[in-house]
Amino acid sequence: MLTSAQCIVEYDFARRLAVPDRLSRKRDERYLRAAARLLAIYRRGVGSPRGELHRRVGRVLEAFDDCPPRRVAAFCKLLDDASSFASAGRSAAELRRRVFSLAADRHPLVTRPEGIFESTLEQAHREIAAELGRSWQEIEANLFADVIELQRLQAFDSDWQPAELLAAYNVAQTQALLYRAVRMTVTASEDMKTILRHAKLAGLMHEIRRLEDGRYWFIFDGPASALRNTSRYGVRFARMIPKLLSCQGWQLQATIAGPRNQFLEFRLSPDDRLRSPLAAPEPFDSTLEAEIVERWHAATPDGWRLERESEILHRGQQVFTPDFVLRREGDDSPIYVELVGYWTPEYLDEKRNQLQQFASHRWILIVTKSNSKFTERAQLPTLQLTGTFKPTELVELATTYYASRTLER
């Protein structure tokens, strides 16, 4: 990710909006051509110091009148992050101490011997290299390898095309804007399970509300950010953006701390066409889940509907997304269907605890033969799969256990 010093934001105080810097392939076609040159600089620059690579990038971009230094620095950061540089760390400092100590006995150094001044620079290089058992060229390359600007490029590890570099720049500027966010909300109609999973991985505290239209509203607050100017929690917001961009059916709004203690709004959705560096979520979590969906659509029982991951159960920070929701026409009480396939004992213990936390709801388990012990301890209606899944068997089990509409939810 970029640093705050590389972030470019436009503040629209009239509409109270914060807009991150963004480059368009059509509107900014010259940047697309420049991106090809920047990629070539790094792909051909193996062995060059980082500072020299940055100067070459600067010479390309500074030809544009509308290219501020922060944009140049941002491109350099993105290209650096996709690269591997040689870094000697403490060994460089130790090498300097040894070289300078050996050189001190030979001072003063001259270009050619004259009178009492016998030590030449070239001779000193040879003698020091021999004493250290390394070539002077190797010594010189590693002498200041702990200085960032002097670190040499070892490899450029990205297969970016020019348009992909611009896309990465746009995502990175959006992330950098969110360093200043004190609150972020996401409204979602799809991929809720994926959004929640990545919010947890980012360490975001959340509140969940279900809207009248069936969508879910996720509220992610940064308590520290609301009290003082800090980007610690904003970095967590930023880390979630690539994951969110790989999903569908969402809208994001964030409150941004702008200049002069003013708060502005930032909005983002798939309509902005930012390209995620991550692949879209897999359509199914398992082959068993895919099989159930396929067979249900092939032979759907009359009066029944099976929805995949369409509801979220939550209690405080405890969240559970059932694999399926089974609904019967005329019955307002859903039946939650959870799959139990081949999993580790630790995962099954966690699953059992989650089911107990939401035991007031109506549940059916679909389990493979290998997990019969799990169902005995869970004490819930269970469809044991001995062959292929049959929708009629699921409906019969639901009818047997949940015929009454007055059961406790």
Q: What pLDDT is recorded for position 76?
A: 98
Angle at 217 between CA 326 and CA 406, to 5 degrees: 35
pLDDT band at 278 (very low <50, low <70, confident <90, very high): confident
- For the ranges 3-17, 164-178, 333-347, the lowest mean pLDDT is seen at 333-347
Q: What pLDDT is recorded for position 137?
A: 83
CA–CA dist 77, 63 (Å, integer): 19
Specify the residue for token string 């701390």. Answer: 257
pLDDT band at 12 (very low <50, low <70, confident <90, very high): very high
202 touches 236 (CB < 8 A): yes
Q: What pLDDT is recorded for position 70?
A: 97
Same domain for 292 and 379, yes or no, is yes
Angle at 179 between CA 241 and CA 216, to 5 degrees: 45
Specify which of 19-33, 128-142, 227-241, 349-363 reaches the highest per-range mean pLDDT: 19-33
Same domain for 182 and 262, yes or no, is yes
Specify the residue for token string 């032979």. Answer: 299
Same domain for 387 and 303, yes or no, is yes
CATH number of the structural domain spanning residue 327: 3.40.1350
Concatenate the DSSP letters of all residues of 233-298 into one string. Answer: HHHHHHHHHHHHHTSSSEEEEEEEE-GGG-EEEEEE-GGG-PPPSSPPPPS-SSHHHHHHHHHHHH
Rg, the chain, Cα only: 30
CA–CA dist 197, 202 (Å, integer): 9
Coil, helix or strand for 167? helix
Domain boundary among 204, 238, 272: 272
pLDDT band at 141 (very low <50, low <70, confident <90, very high): confident
More confident residue, 346 or 263: 263
Specify which of 18-22, 196-200, 363-367 reaches the highest per-range mean pLDDT: 18-22
Which letter, b or e, does each residue of 161-190 get, where b requires 16 or more Cβ atoms within 10 Å of its Cβ? Answer: ebeebbbbbbbbbbbbbbbbbbbbbbbbeb
Averaged pLDDT, 324-333: 91
Angle at 179 between CA 176 and CA 185, to 5 degrees: 105
Whether residue 38 is contained in a domain is answered as: yes
366 touches 296 (CB < 8 A): no
Q: Which two tokens stand for residue 176?
A: 């950098």
Whether residue 221 is contained in a domain is answered as: yes
Indicate the residue type of 205: M
Same domain for 225 and 317, yes or no, is no
Q: What pLDDT is recorded for position 159?
A: 94
Same domain for 172 and 56, yes or no, is yes
Residue 90 backbone phi and psi in degrees, to 5: -65, -25
CA–CA dist 150, 87 (Å, integer): 9
Whether residue 362 is contained in a domain is answered as: yes
Q: What is the pLDDT of residues 28-71, one digit of tens each?
A: 999 999 999 999 999 999 999 999 999 999 999 999 999 999 99
Indicate the residue type of 370: S
313 touches 322 (CB < 8 A): yes
User: What predicted TM-score, i.e. pTM, was given to this entire model?
Assistant: 0.77
Same domain for 49 and 197, yes or no, is yes
Instruction: Tell which residue, 86, 62, 88, has the closest CA to residue 73.
Output: 62
CA–CA dist 222, 207 (Å, integer): 12
Whether residue 282 is contained in a domain is answered as: no
Look at residue 106 and tell me whether its pLDDT is greater than 90.
no
Q: Which two tokens stand for residue 204?
A: 């975001």
Same domain for 292 and 244, yes or no, is no
Whether residue 153 is contained in a domain is answered as: no
Same domain for 301 and 372, yes or no, is yes
Percent residues over pLDDT 90 in the chain: 49
Domain boundary among 272, 301, 321: 272
| DSSP summary character for residue 4 | G
Look at residue 188 and tell me whether its pLDDT is greater than 90.
yes
CA–CA dist 194, 321 (Å, integer): 10
Q: Which two tokens stand for residue 383?
A: 């469809």
More confident residue, 51 or 355: 51
Q: What pLDDT is recorded for position 389?
A: 93
Q: What pLDDT is recorded for position 78?
A: 97
Q: What pLDDT is recorded for position 224?
A: 43
77 touches 6 (CB < 8 A): yes
Averaged pLDDT, 238-251: 93
Look at residue 333 and tell me whether its pLDDT is greater than 60.
yes
Same domain for 71 and 116, yes or no, is no
- For the ranges 47-61, 113-127, 303-317, the lowest mean pLDDT is seen at 113-127
Which letter, b or e, does each residue of 314-334 get, where b requires 16 or more Cβ atoms within 10 Å of its Cβ? Answer: beeeebbbbbbbbbbeeeeeb
Averaged pLDDT, 301-319: 86
Look at residue 227 and tell me whether its pLDDT is greater than 50.
no
Q: What pLDDT is recorded for position 15?
A: 94
Coil, helix or strand for 49? strand
Domain boundary among 272, 302, 325: 272
Domain count, the chain: 3
Look at residue 382 and tell me whether its pLDDT is greater than 70.
yes
- For the ranges 192-206, 354-368, 384-398, the lowest mean pLDDT is seen at 192-206
Full domain range(s) for residue 136:
90-145
Same domain for 293 and 228, yes or no, is no
| Element containing residue 335 per DSSP (H, E) | strand 335-340
Whether residue 114 is contained in a domain is answered as: yes
- For the ranges 171-180, 218-227, 340-349, the lowest mean pLDDT is seen at 218-227
Q: What pLDDT is recorded for position 230?
A: 53
Whether residue 320 is contained in a domain is answered as: yes
Look at residue 75 and tell me whether its pLDDT is greater than 90.
yes
Q: What does the mean pLDDT of the chain come to?
A: 86
Same domain for 197 and 312, yes or no, is no
70 touches 177 (CB < 8 A): no
- For the ranges 93-97, 234-238, 295-299, 377-381, the lowest mean pLDDT is seen at 377-381
Same domain for 130 and 218, yes or no, is no
Q: What pLDDT is recorded for position 226?
A: 44
Whether residue 382 is contained in a domain is answered as: yes
